[in-house]
Amino acid sequence: MRLITFILLPIYWASTAHAGLPGASYPSPRDISSSSSSVAAMWKNITDTLEQTLAGGGWDSISSYLLRNTTFSIGLFSLYDKNASSLQYHHISPSTINGTFGTTHIDSDTIYRVASVSKLITTYAGMVQLEDDEWNTPLTKIYPSLQDFIETTASDPDFVKNIQWDKVTVGDIAAHLGGIPRLGLPVASDIALLGTADPATLKIWGLPTPNITQFLEQYPCLESLQFGTDTVCGIQDYVQGIASNPPRYLPGNSPLYSDSGFFLLGGALSNLTGKSMDELYQDALFTPLGLKSTFSNPPTKPELLNRTVIASTLESDLINVPITTPSGGIYSTINDLATIGISILNSTLLPVDRTNRWLQPVSFTRDLHYALGRPWEIYRYVHPDTNVVTNIYTKLGDAGSYASLLALTPDFDFGFTILGASPLGVQTQAIQLIADQLTNTMIPSLMNQARREAFKNLAGTYTPKAKALNTSVTLTIPSSSKAPPGLVISKWVSNGTDVIDVLAKTLMHLVPHVPQLPANRNMVRIVPTIRDVTVSGQIAFQMETVTPVGPIVGNMFSEMYNVGSWVSTIDQLTYHDIPINEFVFSVDKTGNAFSLSLPAYEIELVRNK
């Protein structure tokens, strides 16, 4: 039965999970914003639909409700198309127009509290200022009260009751992997505190009477965090209070979203760099990137306040508890966040290898579509036509009346920002709605645009300068959006030898399988592996190919070689230790290839006009 399926279906095409190398399918698109870009066309569709939804039509009535009652700004950005940042959309809600404080006009320089996007900005500042090994510093080396706690409890280890602070590192807390509580001390929703205000609450839960005196003694920061009072709460005071918190997981074991971790990260970065967090943000990011509208303190000066969205009250929207700033207290604009996003994509402040390592997952979640980095919230978008996966590196923010999202897709060197605020508390849902609509439309359109540009820039026939040699390579890109990613090598002759013939057969049998199946010339495709466009103007490609499934169709181990080109076929065929199938394009400033070198074949081919 299985054999028949293979014979009837064109293998390279119909496979639901075709073999793939991770990463980009084509070079990043250069044209996001012009009238001929698929991305701009889709953006127009999305913004038109937003307009309709705000007018009561469009998506549905819940969407209308969420969007109308939220003041929001959306902005796109791209590494290669500066003008992508002009693709913006702003909506001002009735309550903002009528607000007593803050701005009554929204544009790309409007200031919002970015809430937990602050966590990403804090980590980025740390990436810029710390050496790699400093991320392995245990928190006991930074906070004396944690060291004291470890020493006091050392004689009677209890890993359910006590956090092993000497095993929790700076890198762990940046990745939500400390196993420490979400918040280190009882604030806002803690039932003991609710119970002191209203004893009936305790009865509802059947809980004993709380001892507030004890609370206030244990946590020197309780009052200032809970009530935002003027009591200055230092990070050392905070840490003293939380030292005896019970753990939620063992260190490094499982992700647990922790604001407390980012209060501690701020203190740790200050300690390791010898700078206040205000200085650190300024030196690491704000000054080098020229950010004029990003602040680690609330924008209270009149000329800033009148550019700031105030959705609720001044007291709550501009609340300033400095130890919490690294977690949620930064204010910024879509213009400045685009600058931050582009600087990450372009490795402006970090060496490329460190950016690459930063843009990797650190832990899984229970769902295959989500993973976590430091502190990236990684969404794995699956293209419905091809099953190709595009990773979206994001950070969501959700605090008080503000919500925010910064999203990067390194495979397209593209990103977007959404900032929102609402007195009704619906801003996060509004932002999630917008982010989904953007993702579902923009990500396929970016792939489409990248494919179109690859057709223009890379496809065609390449031949040697020495015309006498019977050598040529023809690369094509199928027009169907269902086609597997990359460039198909439709013809490859080397000095009179048809290489595809031998290559297809060899690839097919590189990974032994039973029964033996026929090779298919059309399965020979290449995708980008090393993109060095700005430095050397070169883009290297490697073979991405399909091998037949193993003994039990659809099972994980049987499918490993089929879906895992990274381990099965890549780099198996070499000549003088150079991959046979390495193709290196030389491109001009616009990304247009003028030559193609085949290093193993020691030849450079020129693109035919």
Ligand X SMILES: *[C@@H]1O[C@H](CO)[C@@H](O)[C@H](O)[C@H]1NC(C)=O
Residue placing its CB nearer to ligand X in the complex, 19 or 426: 426
In the complex, the smallest distance separating the C-beta of residue 65 from ligand X, rounded to whole angstroms, is: 4
SS3 of 315, please? Answer: helix
Sign for the CA dihedral angle at 39, 41, 47, 49 comes to negative
Residue placing its CB nearer to ligand X in the complex, 376 or 492: 492
Nearest residue to the partner ligand X, using Cβ: 94
In the complex, the smallest distance separating the C-beta of residue 306 from ligand X, rounded to whole angstroms, is: 4
> Residue 458 CA to chain centroid, in angstroms?
28
Backbone angles phi, psi at 381, to 5 degrees: -80, 130
Residue placing its CB nearer to ligand X in the complex, 103 or 116: 103
In the complex, the smallest distance separating the C-beta of residue 265 from ligand X, rounded to whole angstroms, is: 14
In the complex, the smallest distance separating the C-beta of residue 162 from ligand X, rounded to whole angstroms, is: 19
DSSP state of 53: H
Residue placing its CB nearer to ligand X in the complex, 585 or 601: 601
Q: Are the C-beta atoms of residues 400 and 116 closer than 8 Å to each other?
A: no
In the complex, the smallest distance separating the C-beta of residue 216 from ligand X, rounded to whole angstroms, is: 9
Angle made by CA atoms 324, 330, 331, in degrees to the nearest 5: 145
Question: Which residue's entry shows tokens 């200022």?
Answer: 129
Residue type, 552: I
Q: Are the C-beta atoms of residues 263 and 206 closer than 8 Å to each other?
A: no
In the complex, the smallest distance separating the C-beta of residue 483 from ligand X, rounded to whole angstroms, is: 20
Catalogue the E-assigned strands of 313-450.
Answer: 331-332, 363-364, 370-372, 377-382, 389-399, 402-409, 414-421
Q: Are the C-beta atoms of residues 429 and 398 closer than 8 Å to each other?
A: no
Range 235-241, long-range pairs (CB < 8 A, 24+ positions): 235/143, 235/263, 235/264, 235/266, 235/267, 235/270, 235/323, 236/143, 236/144, 236/145, 236/267, 238/184, 238/185, 238/263, 238/267, 238/323, 239/143, 239/145, 239/146, 239/264, 239/267, 240/145, 241/184, 241/185
Residue placing its CB nearer to ligand X in the complex, 79 or 523: 79
In the complex, the smallest distance separating the C-beta of residue 18 from ligand X, rounded to whole angstroms, is: 26
Residue placing its CB nearer to ligand X in the complex, 342 or 600: 342
Residues contacting 236, CB < 8 A, separation 6+: 143, 144, 145, 267
Residue placing its CB nearer to ligand X in the complex, 146 or 163: 146
Residue placing its CB nearer to ligand X in the complex, 235 or 570: 235
Q: Are the C-beta atoms of residues 71 and 93 closer than 8 Å to each other?
A: yes
Residue placing its CB nearer to ligand X in the complex, 41 or 511: 41
Q: Which two tokens stand for residue 576?
A: 């003088």
Angle made by CA atoms 223, 102, 307, in degrees to the nearest 5: 115
Residue placing its CB nearer to ligand X in the complex, 69 or 581: 69
In the complex, the smallest distance separating the C-beta of residue 70 from ligand X, rounded to whole angstroms, is: 9
Q: Side by side, which strands form the sheet with 389-399?
A: 88-91, 71-78, 414-421, 402-409, 389-399, 377-382, 370-372, 363-364
In the complex, the smallest distance separating the C-beta of residue 4 from ligand X, rounded to whole angstroms, is: 33
Q: Are the C-beta atoms of residues 77 and 85 closer than 8 Å to each other?
A: yes
In the complex, the smallest distance separating the C-beta of residue 558 from ligand X, rounded to whole angstroms, is: 37
Interaction site with ligand X (CB under 6 A)? 33, 40, 45, 48-49, 64-65, 68-69, 79, 83, 86, 94-95, 98, 142, 144, 211, 213-214, 217, 271, 274, 302-303, 306, 342, 346, 348, 424, 469-470, 493, 495-498, 534
